[in-house]
């Protein structure tokens, strides 16, 4: 998928292409997580958002997602969350 050096910095999010999907990879307090990149509100790109209060904030309308569970804090709707494994400098996401 990517190399460890490409991961987002502390408290940042970034988009990665995995096959035919775009994934939001977030680094929240040095913990890496991966979830669908598409906000359930109006399809905003979560990987272009910011991290605030441990949540990934959609840049379009501010919906806030828990990167561990994929749950949006107000609506309770969830995006898919994927296991991440870092091995020998390679980052693998299990879609």
pLDDT given for residue 34 in this prediction: 98
pLDDT given for residue 1 in this prediction: 67
Domain membership of residue 87 as a residue range: 2-93
Residue 81: pLDDT above 80?
yes
- Total domains present in the chain: 1
Compute CA distances 72 → 14, 19, 66, 91, whole Å: 18, 25, 6, 25
Rounded CA gap, 43 and 79, in Å? 11
Per-residue pLDDT reduced to its tens digit, 15-68: 999 889 999 999 999 999 999 999 999 999 999 999 999 999 999 999 999 999
CATH assignment at residue 9: 2.102.10.10
pTM of this prediction exceeds 0.85: yes
Q: How confident is the model at residue 2 (pLDDT cuts 50, 70, 90)?
A: confident
Contact call for residues 24 and 8 (beta carbons, < 8 A): no
């Amino acid at each position: 998928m990517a190399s460890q050096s490409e991961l987002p910095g502390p408290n940042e999010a970034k988009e990665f292409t995995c096959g035919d999907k775009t994934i939001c990879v977030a680094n929240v307090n040095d913990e890496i997580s991966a979830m669908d990149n598409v906000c359930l509100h109006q399809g905003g790109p979560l990987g272009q958002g910011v991290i605030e209060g441990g949540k990934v904030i959609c840049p379009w309308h501010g919906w806030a997602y828990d990167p561990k569970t994929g749950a949006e804090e107000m609506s309770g709707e969830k995006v898919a969350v994927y296991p991440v494994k870092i091995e020998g400098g390679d980052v693998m996401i299990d879609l």
